[in-house]
Structure 1
Amino acid sequence: MIRVAICEDEKETQCLIEDYVDNILNNINTEYKIQKYSSGEELLEGNLKDIDILLLDIQMGQINGMDTARKIREVDNKMEIIFITSLIDYVQEGYEVRAYRYLLKPIESEELKKHVLACIKEIEMNKNNYIVIKNNPNTYKIYSNEIKYIEVQKKQMSIYTINKSFDVRYSLGKIEKDLTLDKYVRCHKSFLVNLSYVENIKPNIAVLESGEEVPISRYRYKDVKEQFLKFLGETIC
């Protein structure tokens, strides 16, 4: 079941998007549910956990789409957000809320289809992508997309996720092989970072959306920055 929400204050545009999404999801033979909201306030009062993909207008009334997305990210890190806008001036702010996809008005069906299918692919991949670490007497199942960064000190590894951290005995080399997604980068001999949660790259640190800082070694800086820019470019396109 794919759960899509449309938050758009223009009724005509809202109905047009609903028709487009309905057609797209019908054609791929998947179960789905579409919810509609006319304001950020109305959306935030609903059950955000029931949304997989959110089509969110930026230029709305009292609370705009960008501020709505910031409030969503305080409680939900998994939702795929596609911004709807008449301007492309908000790209940099979109990085802050892990929203890399934009639909420009007037909305075209094929452009919407490209973004929706990409989001579905990401959702399915994340559902099936996890690592299992056996650490006697415990066994941990950790979803890869929830890992922000990993730190190793001697034989002790700390895995920091969006909700908690795990302290295990494991090697960084082995976990690099376990994490098959292309969004993880070794930024330091003792650190691995998930580019999805990186807001900014500086010469010696990766600044995460949460404000946490992960060190980048001097000789890895150029490569990390290139991978970060490539990651952003591939996500937006």
Structure 2
Amino acid sequence: MIKFAICDDEPMMVQEISNQLSQYMNGEHITSYCINSFSDGRSLLESGRDFDVIFLDIQMEHLNGMETAKILRQRKNHSLLIFVTVLKECVFDAFEVEAFDYLVKPLDSGHFKRTMNRIIKSIQQREIKSIVVQRGTSCDVILLAEIVYCEVQGRKIYIHQSDGKITDYYDKLDDLEQRIDGRFFRCHRSYLVNIEYVRGCNAGQIMLSQGDKIPVSRLRERDLTQALLRYMKERDF
């Protein structure tokens, strides 16, 4: 079940997004989904419900979309956020809250479909791709989408996850690299980073969305830039 939320104070826009959403899902023969609507950010937050995807207007009374998004991220909410607004100049602010995309009113059906294609692909990747980490007699299943970076210290690997959890176990970074996919980049002999969480690079340091910094070797800085550009191209930014 894919759970969608539409948060907009314009009833006509809520209806338009809902119609385009239903039309897309039916066209892709995806029947397991639900759509909930909210008239402002406060009511969305007070619902306490988790959604896979949230279409969020920026200009709203009581609590605007950007403020709502910041609170969601502070709560460690990992919903895919799609801003829907007339304010083109807010596109850069959207990166602060890790927005998945930015749709400008009036909605362009082609852009909406491309966004939905990426949404479905991202959700499928989240659900399917994971690794199993053996820790003595127990094991942990970790989604690749939730791994921010991995580092090796001595004989142990430390996996840093988006919720702040750190999982450690005995392994070699070379072996782990073989088990993960193309969203990860070997930025240093002791580090693997998830490109999705990279927010910049300066003076031999990679800045991550959670505020952490990890090293990138001088010889791999150019390759990191190319990896970031490929990632941006794949996501149609």
Name the TM-score, length of structure 1 as normaliser: 0.92
Is 1:100–1:232's contact at 8 Å kept on the other side of the alignment? Answer: no
Counterpart check, 1:88 vs 2:92: no
RMSD (Å), alpha carbons? 1.7
Please give the residue correspondences for 1:1-237 in structure 2 after superposition, counting only pairs within 5 Å: 1-29=1-29, 30-49=31-50, 51-163=51-163, 164-180=165-181, 182-237=182-237
What is the letter of the counterpart of residue 94 of structure 1? A
CA distance in 2, matches of 1:77, 1:39: 18
What is the letter of the counterpart of residue 112 of structure 1? F
Quote how far apart the aligned CAs of 1:112 are. 1.5
> Higher relative contact order at CA 8 Å, sep ≥6: structure 1 or structure 2?
1
Runs of 4+ residues over 4 Å off in structure 1: none
CA distance in 2, matches of 1:132, 1:217: 28
Sequence identity percentage: 34
Quote how far apart the aligned CAs of 1:37 are. 0.9
CA distance in 2, matches of 1:228, 1:7: 31
CA distance in 2, matches of 1:141, 1:2: 21
What is the letter of the counterpart of residue 93 of structure 1? D
What is the letter of the counterpart of residue 192 of structure 2? L
Is 2:52–2:80's contact at 8 Å kept on the other side of the alignment? Answer: yes
Q: Residues 100-140 of structure 1: CA distance to partner in whole angstroms, max 9, x if unpaired?
A: 31111111233212212321121011101100122322222
Segments of 5+ residues of structure 1 without an aligned counterpart are: none
Q: Residues 13-35 of structure 1: CA distance to partner in whole angstroms, max 9, x if unpaired?
A: 11111111121112222211100
When residues 223 and 203 of structure 1 are mapped into structure 2, their CA distance, relative to the original with a 3 A threshold, is farther
Aligned positions, number = 235
SS at match of 2:88: coil
Tell which deviates more after alignment, 207-216 or 83-92.
Answer: 83-92
CA distance in 2, matches of 1:177, 1:91: 36
Quote how far apart the aligned CAs of 1:88 are. 2.7
What is the letter of the counterpart of residue 31 of structure 1? S
